[in-house]
Chain A
Amino acid sequence: MQNLIILAAEETEGGHAPENPLGFVPVEFVLSLVVFGLLFFAVKKFVAPAFEKTFAERTQAIEGGLAAAETKQAEADAKLAELEKQLADARHEAARIREEAREQGAQIVAEMREQAQAESTRIVEHGKTQIEAERQQAVTSLRAEVGALATGLAGRIVGESLDDEARQSRVVDRFLSELEAQNGTASTQPGSVN
């Protein structure tokens, strides 16, 4: 649009020699170089370093972050391994204790059984010896008593006149019932001994 004005302007002014579009215009050439050069130095001095610095910082930040994350990860892994090891140890320990307890329990039961056995054997032995002693005592006392009784009985039988059999048996029966009345429990023993 602007060019139309120029066209028009040129037409009105007239007399302007047509320019070769490829022609060299020193002012434009130099100006282009100067402006570009200034822009280049401005970009080189102010823009590029700022961007490069940011890029480098960002790269570093990301890499630093990654490194930190890796360290954290390694730490966490180590901690996890340690905890797992501890857990395994604890499990192992628990199993060991359980096993021990079971063994101990079994041992205790066995001991108790043995003790009980021994005790019962002892009690039985004790009972046996006691019975034996009492028997011995009874036998001894019986032996003495039977002698006396036999002597007494014989004396009585002799005293009553030993004529007939009926009288004889009556005397023995009376003697025995007297004995029974005298001592219920002891009365049987002389019989078993005889």
Chain B
Amino acid sequence: MSILSASDVRAAGGGEEFVPPGPNSFDFSGVPLFHIGDLAVTKPMVQLLLAGVLVFALFWAAARRASLVPGRLQFAGESAYGMVRNSIGRDIIGSHDYQRFVPYLVTLFFFILLNNFFATVPLIQFPTFSRASMAYALAALSWIVYNAVGIRKHGFLGYLKLQSVPSGVTPLMYPLLVPLEFFSNILVRPVTLALRLFANMFAGHLLLILFSTGGLFLLQYGGIGYVAGPLAWALAIAIAFLELLVQFLQAYVFTLLNAMYISGALADEH
């Protein structure tokens, strides 16, 4: 709150105009936390690292002294691990192949989840993957993983055929369908993966900033703002809860789609 009022004083000092949040709100390049050599380390980078450390630390603490009768921490860890392992890995990929993808899926889910939750964690309050490049990285990795899995199983041409040539369709339709299938299965997937995650986090955070700074501005504006300002803040809180759901959902969807792509690449026939 003190931060808000400080900035508000400046905003008010700058003029009566409300400055809406925009892409600039996500640009940390001007305010690095510290430098390592020439590299300016920004807040999202630190968050990324923190999420990695936290995910591992929590899981390691839960798995370190694993016993047949689990303690509370181990039970929580097993439930979390088991959820991704069973409901995403085994159910989507199938019990024959899923085992070797479990570490990947578990890492993916909890890494994204924690980074998304950072949007709501007090004092951090920034969703890491609203930095598009970070989402690009995971999407690119996903693209490499499912394609590599498919190529390794079916060979390069076999895999291309699997992904591009739909079975059960008359060859007359191939000129139309083959480019479309190739486009949707090979080219579009990483883009949608990255954009879905990025845009959800970006938009959610933008909304939160808008409602909280807007509420403050309204309060200072006076008049009807004394009613509208608190209302905006109440909405901001409601949106924050909605965002919690979105954060979980996006992590889940990202992981689920990865599993489905892998499962599709492993499939014998369409």
Q: A: which residues have CB within 8 A of B? A: 1-13, 16, 18-33, 35-36, 38-40, 42-44, 46-48, 50-55, 57-58, 61
Contacts and interface: CB of A to CB of B under 8 A. Distances in A.
Contact of A35 (B14, B48, B198): B48
Given A36-B52, A42-B56, A50-B63, 11 more contacts: A1-B212, A3-B209, A8-B11, A9-B31, A32-B48, A33-B141, A35-B48, A36-B108, A40-B104, A54-B74, A61-B68
24 contacts: A2-B126, A4-B3, A5-B3, A6-B30, A7-B7, A8-B10, A13-B30, A18-B27, A22-B132, A23-B133, A24-B136, A26-B133, A28-B45, A29-B134, A31-B134, A35-B51, A36-B111, A39-B111, A44-B104, A47-B63, A51-B77, A54-B74, A57-B68, A58-B68
A103 to B, nearest CB: 66
Contacts of A48: 81, 102-103, 106
A31 B43 contact: no
Contacts of A35: 48-49, 51-52, 111
A2 B46 CA distance: 15
B126 A51 contact: no
B141 to A, nearest CB: 6
Interface of A is mostly: helix
A12 B7 CA distance: 11
B23 A18 contact: yes
B26 to A, nearest CB: 6
Interface bin, chain B? 35 or more
B125 interface: yes
A36 B103 CA distance: 12
Contact of B29 (A7, A19, A54): A19
Contacts, number: 178
A19 B31 CA distance: 13
Given A36-B141, A39-B107, A7 B134 contact: no
Interface of B: 3-4, 6-8, 10-11, 14, 19, 21-31, 39, 43-45, 48-49, 51-52, 55-56, 59-60, 63-64, 66-68, 70, 74, 77-78, 81-82, 85, 99, 102-104, 106-108, 111, 125-126, 130-134, 136-138, 140-141, 198, 202, 209, 212-213
A63 B105 CA distance: 28
Nearest to B112: A36
In the A-B complex, list the 9 residue pairs whose CB atoms are closest, starting with the nearest: A32-B137, A50-B63, A4-B7, A44-B103, A28-B133, A32-B134, A25-B133, A54-B66, A47-B59
Contact of B60 (A1, A30, A46): A46
Contact of A20 (B23, B45, B66, B111): B23
